[in-house]
């Protein structure tokens, strides 16, 4: 049966993904094999596939497919995260479009709408990952608000509370006015923004004197509780014990002294606003200042502001600045750049806010999680992220875990009419606890807040195997700890650290062994890809255009571990071309007719060389996988297939036009092709499966698929043969280059003479004659006068061109090459004469430079002789 002229990715992708699913190749259940487990970083249910997902999940799929082929029990657990803030915002927006205000709904009604939204949109990204070829065990798909996972979260809250890690109290928190919820420090993104610095006059009471305060936030002056000066500042000593009037509202506040104030910064005076700045709050606590919160949860001014009540904080800023100017209480306004915190989810500017919240003490919990990474139990790849991980763990702050939302796991705390509270799993248990404590159960109600999403996803590697509720569970004990986690560096502290913390607390084991941190996908200008910038291509459209295998290869070719990748669609084109190269090579082989004769010596030598080269490359590829350098592993695979197999081996054994090939040689080629398809499968699953089932390989059983074929293992290889063939390739390439440089047709056969002193070229003679189109092949002991000469390895080769050469042009070319090599020699000599270089460089680097010098000197000598022979 003939094979199509061109590869049809769409047809192959739909056919083989369905086939893999039908035959259960992705399914994993515990058995006697070594497990290899990956848990997918669960994408938000609000998400659709973007380039970061593409990179992350392609890497995971390569690792899981390779492990499956290595005979391991490969289990890749997929799932989605409920993403409290983002999802609630989506549902609120949907309801608004329907004319429904969230405030008009009960919690139960709102959650009904939220679950309907999740069922409709929450699985989109997982279906898109199927298009990518993700070989997850889809029967294990989890959602962070599945009943069993939610119960695990509640159990963990109670466990941590009873252990003394969780407490409730009023603290200054990061408040998101758009999401109307508290955030943890890690959910705040610091950005440099252009602002105005307002110099405001505060009148000293019973005086015409003013004190000038510089602030970027004039809208908060109504919340001022004091003016603070440094006690060592001579300029303001006269203000000690005085009071000043807050502009516009004329409220009297004291002047206090504290060395916290930097005399050199701004005007050397500080307005203290305890309700709206963390440092001011601590200063206020120290000096027993009044706390005046003038902002509503949505960022508008409340009644305590006295003026502009109901105005948005940023509109109020402009209006207050104008009002201050009108009463001559603005000294000046300057342009100013400063760091401002923004919500990681809604991108709203964060407000520091005093709020009653639930917190988790992190200091004791963090220590084992740091030790795992310090002692190498868990490896961060690349290691450059260890320093920031260590810094965060050593300086970790208590984690605000409560969120003022309805979508999520509700905190299992219960209050009575006196606002006394207990922590319990059910209302019945709460009543029993209140009774034990002799407290009333009248008006009992559950906490309204839900837990931070990261609290639930921190349990992910355990909860997906039901290891929190049932630690004796055989599945949990088989698959946990997992092997490799592939994720983005920006959630190292959000998620990775918390999984390690929770995993250790429950099991005294790490949740995984390796953390592969991918880079950020950027465009060729270095900008992070995003919808807002319009510089992010649609991954589905890319796969439609270039084929999924082409896009997978394109992503990985440009993605060294931990480094940002400058993505361009040209990489996908390169990936598609690679797929086409393999397809066309297969068509070439399939088109050969056979003859029942044994292979020639040249074909046998070529086969021995490629077998050695394959195993040599496999050692390199395995080394890259061991170091998690998947981009390098792919490039080594790419070169082996494109260069060694297609450009050299197939050309060496290819029969003459319309001539048959020896059956023995064709069988050898087919065997190599099968190994190449197995090697390439993790990177290019669809193309390899399509070719694997071609009749050229004979009849296959239903389960005989490349997805579960044995991954190639390293066998012995002949290094001497590889080195000799490197020289043979050099001979062929040099003869081709001479033809090209001299404008001689490839069809013109040329004579070749070799002064062989290191290699027995006779066993490669037929290959050289065939690929270099040699008319006469000879061995000489003397120099061939009038011939173009070159070095192959350490052996001198001669090509007599006779009438095929322009003598003057050749002399000019040789002279230019001599000048170039002499310049190169000067550079090398400078390096070798530099004592500092010789003393500090590694011995192999110094030897490499000496080898360069020797090679250049030998080439110059040959070129000078060639020049002399031309007269």
> Do 221 and 250 form a contact (C-beta atoms < 8 A)?
no
- Which of 346, 311, 355 minimizes the C-alpha distance to 218? 311
DSSP per-residue letters across 800-812: --GGG--HHHHHH
- Residue pair 870/786 in contact (Cβ under 8 Å)? The answer is yes
C-alpha–C-alpha distance, residues 575 and 572, integer Å: 5
Q: What is the DSSP letter of 637?
A: H
d(CA 25, CA 135): 8
Q: How many other CB atoms sit within 10 Å of the CB of residue 680?
A: 24
Closest by alpha carbon to 784, among 752, 738, 806?
752
Could you tell me the two tokens for 132? 């990518």
> Residue 499, preceding bond cis, omega within 30 degrees?
no
379 assigned to a ligand binding site: no
How far is 511 from 496, CA to CA, in rounded Å? 9
Cβ pair 211, 241 in contact under 8 A: no
Residue 542's CB is within 10 A of a number of other CB atoms, namely: 20
What b/e sequence results for 317-340 when a residue is b if at least 16 CB atoms lie within 10 Å of its CB, and e otherwise?
A: beebbebbeeeebbeeeeeeeeee
797: region left, alpha or beta (phi > 0 left; psi from -120 to 50 alpha): beta
- State both tokens at 420: 């006394």
Q: What is the CA radius of gyration of the chain?
A: 36
| Cβ neighbours of residue 632 closer than 8 Å, sequence gap 6 or more | 560, 624
Are the C-beta atoms of 356 and 404 separated by less than 8 Å? no
Contact status, residue 215 vs residue 333, Cβ threshold 8 Å: no
Which single residue is written with the structure tokens 């919340």? 223
Closest among 399, 496, 501 to 187, alpha carbons compared: 399
Which positions ≥6 away from 780 have C-beta within 8 Å?
A: 753, 754, 755, 798
The β-bridge relationship of strands 142-143 and 594-595 is unpaired
> Which residue, among 659, 657, 700, has the nearest Cα to 677 in the 3D structure?
700
The annotated binding site for ATP is made up of 531
The annotated binding site is made up of 531
């Amino acid at each position: 049966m003939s094979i199509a002229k061109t590869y049809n990715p769409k047809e192959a992708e739909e056919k083989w993904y369905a086939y893999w699913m039908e035959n259960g190749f992705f399914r994993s259940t515990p058995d006697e094999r070594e497990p290899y487990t990956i848990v997918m970083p669960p994408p938000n249910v609000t998400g659709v596939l973007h380039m970061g997902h593409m990179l992350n999940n392609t890497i995971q799929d390569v690792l899981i497919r390779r492990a499956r082929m290595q005979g391991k029990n490969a289990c890749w657990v997929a799932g989605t995260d409920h993403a409290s803030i983002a999802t609630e915002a989506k549902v609120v927006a949907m309801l608004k479009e329907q004319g429904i205000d969230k405030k008009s709904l009960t919690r139960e009604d709102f959650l009904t709408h939220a679950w309907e939204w999740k069922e409709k949109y929450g699985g989109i990204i997982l279906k898109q990952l199927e298009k990518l070829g993700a070989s997850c065990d889809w029967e294990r798909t989890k959602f962070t608000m599945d009943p069993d996972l939610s119960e695990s979260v509640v159990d963990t809250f109670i466990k941590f509370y009873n252990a003394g890690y969780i407490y409730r109290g009023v603290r200054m928190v990061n408040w998101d006015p758009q999401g109307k919820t508290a955030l943890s420090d890690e959910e705040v993104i610091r950005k440099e923004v252009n602002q105005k610095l307002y110099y405001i006059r505060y009148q000293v009471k019973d005086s015409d004197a003013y004190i000038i305060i510089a602030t970027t936030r004039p809208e908060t002056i109504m919340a001022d509780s004091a003016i603070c000066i440094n006690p060592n500042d001579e300029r303001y000593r006269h203000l000690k014990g005085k009071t000043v009037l807050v502009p516009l509202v004329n409220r009297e506040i004291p002047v206090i002294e504290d060395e916290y104030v930097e005399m050199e910064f701004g005007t050397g005076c500080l307005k203290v606003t305890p309700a709206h700045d963390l440092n001011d709050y601590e200063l206020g606590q120290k000096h027993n200042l009044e706390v005046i919160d003038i902002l509503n949860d949505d960022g508008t001014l409340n009644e305590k502001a006295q003026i502009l009540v109901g105005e948005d904080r940023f509109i109020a800023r402009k209006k207050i600045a104008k009002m201050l100017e009108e009463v001559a209480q603005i000294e000046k306004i300057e342009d100013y750049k400063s760091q401002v915190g923004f919500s990681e989810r809604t991108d709203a500017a964060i407000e520091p806010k005093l709020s009653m919240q639930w917190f988790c003490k992190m200091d004791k919990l963090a220590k084992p999680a740091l030790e795992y990474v310090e002692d190498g139990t868990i490896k961060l790849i690349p290691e450059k992220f260890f320093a920031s991980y260590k810094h965060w763990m050593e300086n970790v702050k208590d984690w605000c875990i409560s969120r003022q939302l309805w979508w999520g796991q509700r905190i299992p705390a219960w209050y009575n009419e006196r606002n006394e509270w207990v922590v319990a799993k059910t209302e019945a248990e709460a009543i029993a606890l209140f009774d034990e404590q002799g407290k009333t159960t009248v008006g009992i109600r559950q906490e309204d807040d839900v837990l931070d999403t990261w609290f639930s996803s921190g349990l992910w590697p355990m909860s997906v195997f039901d290891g929190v509720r049932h630690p004796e569970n055989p599945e949990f004990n088989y698959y946990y700890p997992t092997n490799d986690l592939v994720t983005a560096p920006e959630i190292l502290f959000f998620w990775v650290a918390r999984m390690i913390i929770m995993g250790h607390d429950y099991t005294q084991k790490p949740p995984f062994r390796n953390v592969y941190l991918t880079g950020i996908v950027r465009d060729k200008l270095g900008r992070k890809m995003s919808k807002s910038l319009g510089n992010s291509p649609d991954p589905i459209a890319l796969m439609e255009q270039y084929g999924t295998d082409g896009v997978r290869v394109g992503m990985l070719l440009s993605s060294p571990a931990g480094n940002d990748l400058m993505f361009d669609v040209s990489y996908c084109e390169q990936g598609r071309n690679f797929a086409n190269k393999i397809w066309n090579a297969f068509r070439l082989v399939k088109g050969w007719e056979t003859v029942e004769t044994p292979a020639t010596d040249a074909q046998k030598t070529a086969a021995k060389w490629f077998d050695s080269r394959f195993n040599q490359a496999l050692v390199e590829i395995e080394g890259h996988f061991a170091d998690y350098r998947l981009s390098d592993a792919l490039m080594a695979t790419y070169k082996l297939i494109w260069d060694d197999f297609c450009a050299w081996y197939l050309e060496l054994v290819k029969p003459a036009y319309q001539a048959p090939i020896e059956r023995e040689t064709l069988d050898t080629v087919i065997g190599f092709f099968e190994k190449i398809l197995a090697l390439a499968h993790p990177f290019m699953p669809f193309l390899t499966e399509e070719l694997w089932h071609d009749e050229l390989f004979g009849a296959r059983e239903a389960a005989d698929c490349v997805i579960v074929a044995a991954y190639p293992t390293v066998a012995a290889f002949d290094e001497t043969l590889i080195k000799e063939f490197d020289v043979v390739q050099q001979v062929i390439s040099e003869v081709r280059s001479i033809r090209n440089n001299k404008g001689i047709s490839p069809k013109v056969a040329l004579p070749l003479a070799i002064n062989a002193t290191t290699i027995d070229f006779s066993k490669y003679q037929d290959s050289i004659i065939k690929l270099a189109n040699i008319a006469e092949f000879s061995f000489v002991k003397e120099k061939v006068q009038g011939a173009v000469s070159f070095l192959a390895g350490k052996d001198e080769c001669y090509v007599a061109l006779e009438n095929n050469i322009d003598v003057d042009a050749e002399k000019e070319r040789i002279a230019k090459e001599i000048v170039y090599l002499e310049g190169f020699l000067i550079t090398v000599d400078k390096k070798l004469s530099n004592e500092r270089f010789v003393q500090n460089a590694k011995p192999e680097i110094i030897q490499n430079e000496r080898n360069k010098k020797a090679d250049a000197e030998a080439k110059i000598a040959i070129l000078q002789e060639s020049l002399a022979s031309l007269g």
